[in-house]
Amino acid sequence: MLLAKVVGTVVATKKNETLVGSKLLIVKPLRKGLDETKESDEIMVGELVLLVAGTTASRIMSNDKAPVDAAVIGIVDDIEMSGGY
């Protein structure tokens, strides 16, 4: 699982039929200690979310043949960290 910030959405008038009705988001993964990647300085920060990637992401969809690389599985309410991050 990964932490990421939602930085935008994608509008696609034509897409794979298994993705119809799905919201397409642009997310920026976070590094250890919740530091955003270097490019994030130029992008407006949004909601903190939890992602899964790979085959786990495709299983989230109602059709497991959907061409999905990553899926948002939750919105983060709070984080507790220890260990010098």
Share of the chain above pLDDT 70, in %: 81
Q: Which residue has the higher pLDDT, 69 or 37?
A: 69
Residue 82 lies in a domain: no
Residue 83 lies in a domain: no
CA atoms within 13 A on the CB side of 83: 4
Over the stretch 20-38, which tens digit does the pLDDT of each residue have?
Answer: 888 899 999 887 655 555 5
Query: Rounded mean pLDDT of 71-85?
Result: 82
CA distance 60 to 81: 28
Over the stretch 6-19, which tens digit does the pLDDT of each residue have?
Answer: 999 999 989 899 88
For residue 25, what are the domain limits? 2-75
Tokens of 27: 């997310």
Residue 66 lies in a domain: yes
Residue 85 lies in a domain: no
Q: What CATH number is associated with residue 30?
A: 2.40.50.220
The answer to whether the CB of 65 falls within 8 A of the CB of 44 is no
The answer to whether the pTM exceeds 0.75 is: no
pLDDT at 80 over 50: yes
The domain tally of the chain equals 1
Q: Which residue has the higher pLDDT, 82 or 37?
A: 82
